[in-house]
Amino acid sequence: MKLANIILNEDNHSEKASSLQKEIDKYHKELNPSVRMAEYDQDRKDDDPLKGRGFGSVTFVVKQDISKDHFDSIKQIITNKGYEIKSSNSDFESDPGERDYYPKINFHFNLQES
C-alpha cells in the first residue's frame, strides 16, 4: 500500500472512483481518463469548510485539447453524481523539455452523501 493512499484515505473511495471512471469511459474512453478520489483530514474545527468533504480529479492523459462539447458532457456526468466542480481546464499544454499539463477537472464531494 502506498503512503499517499494511507494519508489521503484513497482506499475509502476506490469504489466511487471506479464507478465514475467506468461511467466516463462508457462515453469518452478515447480521452484516456484517470479518476482519483480521496478525503481531506477530518481532524478539523466544526466551522472548517473542508470538514466532511472529499476531493477528486479526472485527468485526461491525451496530448490534445478536449472539445467544449466533450468536456461539458464529462462535467455533466460529474455533477450528476452530486460532486461540485472546483476547477477545470480542457487544454493540453506542453513545456518542451519540462513537463506536460493534461486536461483536468477537480471536484469536491460530501463524505456523508457519497
To 10 degrees, the CA torsion angle through 28, 29, 33, 34?
A: 140
Please report, for the chain, how many H helices and E strands are present, in that order: 3, 6
pLDDT value of position 11: 64
pLDDT tens digit string along 29-82?
A: 999 999 999 988 777 788 888 888 999 999 999 999 999 999 999 999 999 999
pLDDT tens digit string along 67-89?
A: 999 999 999 999 999 999 999 99
Residue 10 has pLDDT above 70, yes or no: no
DSSP H helices in 29-82? 68-80
Domain ranges of the chain: 3-43+51-110
95's grid cell: 513545456
Terminal-residue alpha carbon distance, the chain: 23
pLDDT confidence tier of residue 97, bands split at 50, 70 and 90? confident
